[in-house]
Structure 1
Amino acid sequence: MAALGGTGIEIYPLVLGTNTFGWNTPENEAHAVLDAFAAAGGNLVDTADSYSAWAEGNSGGESETVIGTWLAKNRSAGVLVATKVSQHPEFKGLSGPNVRAAADASLKRLGVEAIDLYYAHFDDAETPLEETVGAFNDLVTEGKIRHIGVSNYSPERLREWLDITERTGAARPVALQPKYSLVSRGSFEPGLRDIAVAEGLSGFPYHVLASGFLTGKYRTEADLAQSVRGGSASRHLNPSGLAIVEKLDQIARGRGVAPASIALAWARSRPGIAAPIAGARVADQLAPLLASADIELTADEADELTALSDFIGA
Structure 2
Amino acid sequence: MEYRRLGKSGLKISALSFGSWVTFGKQVDINIAKVLIKSAYDAGVNFFDNAEGYMAGASEKIMGDAISALGFPRSSYIVSSKVFWGGSLPTQKGLSAKHVRDACDAALTRLKVDYLDLYFCHRPDIDTPISETVRAMDNLVRQGKVLYWGTSEWSSQQITEAHLIAEREHLTPPTMEQPQYNMLARQRFEQEYLPLYENFGMGTTIFSPLRSGILTGKYVDGIPENSRLSLEGYENLRNQLLKDDGTADTVRQLMHLASELNVSMANLAIAWTLKNPNVSTAILGASKLNQLQENLQALDVLPLLTPDVMENIERILNNKPAGPERY
Q: TM-score, normalised by structure 1?
A: 0.90
Match for residue 260 of structure 1? 266
Q: Does 1:227 align with 2:227?
A: yes
Paired residues of 2:210 and 2:270 also in contact (CA < 8 A): yes
Match of 1:15 in 2: 17
Look up the match of 1:80. 78
Indicate whether 1:27 and 2:39 are aligned.
no
The answer as to whether partners of 1:2 and 1:12 remain within 8 angstroms in 2 is yes
In the aligned structure 1, how far is the partner of 2:58 from the partner of 2:118?
A: 18
CA deviation after TM superposition for structure 1 residue 262, in Å: 0.7
Q: CA RMSD in A?
A: 2.1
SS at match of 2:45: coil
Seen in structure 2, the aligned counterparts of structure 1 residues 168 and 307 have a Cα distance that, compared at 3 Å, is: farther
Superposed displacement of residue 226, structure 1: 5.5
Residue identity in the other structure for 1:227: S
* Deviation for aligned residue 1:236: 4.7
Q: Distance in 1 between matches of 2:245 and 2:30?
A: 39
Structure-2-length-normalised TM-score: 0.87
Question: How many angstroms apart in 1 are the aligned matches of 2:292 and 2:179?
Answer: 22
Opposite residue 43 of structure 1, the aligned amino acid is N
Other structure's SS at 1:87 match: coil
Which range moves more in the overlay, 304-313 or 203-212?
304-313
- CA distance in structure 1 between the partners assigned to 2:136 and 2:260 by the alignment: 50
Matches within 5 A, 1:49-64: 49-52=52-55, 60-64=56-60
Trace 1:271-310 onto structure 2 (pairs within 5 A). Answer: 271-296=277-302, 297-310=305-318
Distance 1:182 1:144 in 2: 36
**CA offsets 1:182-241 (integer angstroms, 9 cap, x no match):** 112233231123323432111221122112110010112x34656241563564564642
Q: Contact 1:182/1:309 (CA < 8 Å) preserved in 2? A: yes
CA distance in 2, matches of 1:310, 1:87: 36
**Cα displacement (A) at 1:153:** 0.4
Identity of aligned residues (%): 31
For 1:1-314, list aligned pairs within 5 A: 1-19=3-21, 20-52=23-55, 60-73=56-69, 74-76=71-73, 78-89=76-87, 91-220=92-221, 222-223=222-223, 227-229=227-229, 232=237, 235-236=241-242, 238=244, 240-296=246-302, 297-311=305-319
Count of residue pairs the alignment pairs up:
305
CA distance in 2, matches of 1:155, 1:180: 15
> In 2, Cα distance between the equivalents of 1:269 and 1:75?
30
Q: Secondary structure at 1:11's aligned position in 2?
A: strand
5+ long unaligned stretches in structure 1: 53-59
Shift of the alpha carbon at 1:95?
0.4
